[in-house]
Amino acid sequence: MVSVIRPVIITGMSGGGLSTAAKVFEDKGFFVAQNLPPQMILELIALAREEDSPVTRLAVVTDVRARMFNGSLIGTVEQIREAGADPFVLFLEARDDVLIRRFDSVRRTHPLQGDETLQAGIRREREELAQVREAADVIIDTSNLSVHDLRRAVEASVGQLPGDRQHVTVESFGFKHGSPRDADIVLDVRFLPNPYWVQELRDFRGVDAPVAEYVLAQPGATEFVDNVAALLVSMLGGYRHEGKDFITVGIGCTGGHHRSVAISEAVAAKLRETDTVEISVLHRDLERS
């Protein structure tokens, strides 16, 4: 048998963006199977690992509806590991109010709602998926993400698959839109002067040279970047010891347009110098007003 690239299990809350994630993996050349019961997931992975299999990149989308069949998703993940095909588990979630709004917009009932309220169905689903969430390699909170932002976040997770090194995602955001719930570390760069109040810089963003140069020229900015990079590097060994190979660092300013973007790019560049981790950068609120 030959191993495929780590089989991907895409799961999470109904309404969390599983369909969008599936499309991203399809676009990346994965064979994607959707809504398979636990036993069929095991059989599909075994088939993909056969010597003459045409499938070398496999992703399976499964949600709480699989509970209608024998076996559990967390048990399936453990069985896949025992078979020597260490799965990459991607879990998508969102706040209750966001999920309710999404279900209302498409006039769908929740699969666990039954005769009760939509809120009750969401609560029941969170309880049933708690163990899977705990075992996930990457958790993406889609509450504040547009479809395009979600695609970028999922694409970043795809980039984490091939290597054995730890992966750090540096995510800029605006505090006025809420902190990213999936961040392991959240840092605040509102101590730096805001380029928004500089007329000639207002319409630029932190990825543009004029803003980046302005932000990094402020007292304490480069020291902050150096200290954050050093702190993260010092924590990587502990994270790995605890079985955590995927770390998300949220860096926030007021709107997520200028300071957090420039600092995130600088922190990512500094971490790449160490050549010890894979790095991706996500600017969650760059295009939001």
Does the annotation list 153 as a binding residue? no
Does the annotation list 81 as a binding residue? no
Contact 282, 152 (CB under 8 A): yes
Does the annotation list 154 as a binding residue? no
Residue 181 to residues 141, 145, 171, 186, 239: CA-CA distances in angstroms?
6, 12, 11, 10, 19
In the structure encoding, which two tokens stand for residue 117, read together? Answer: 């309220």
- In terms of C-beta density within 10 A (0-12 exposed, 13-18 middle, 19 or more buried), how is residue 148 classed? exposed
Does the annotation list 65 as a binding residue? yes
Contact 281, 168 (CB under 8 A): no
Query: From CA 243, how far away is CA 58, in angstroms rounded?
Result: 23
Query: From CA 278, how far away is CA 81, in angstroms rounded?
Result: 23
Q: How crowded is residue 254: how many other Cβ atoms within 10 Å of its Cβ?
A: 17
Binding-site residue numbers for GTP are 63-66
Binding-site residue numbers are 63-66
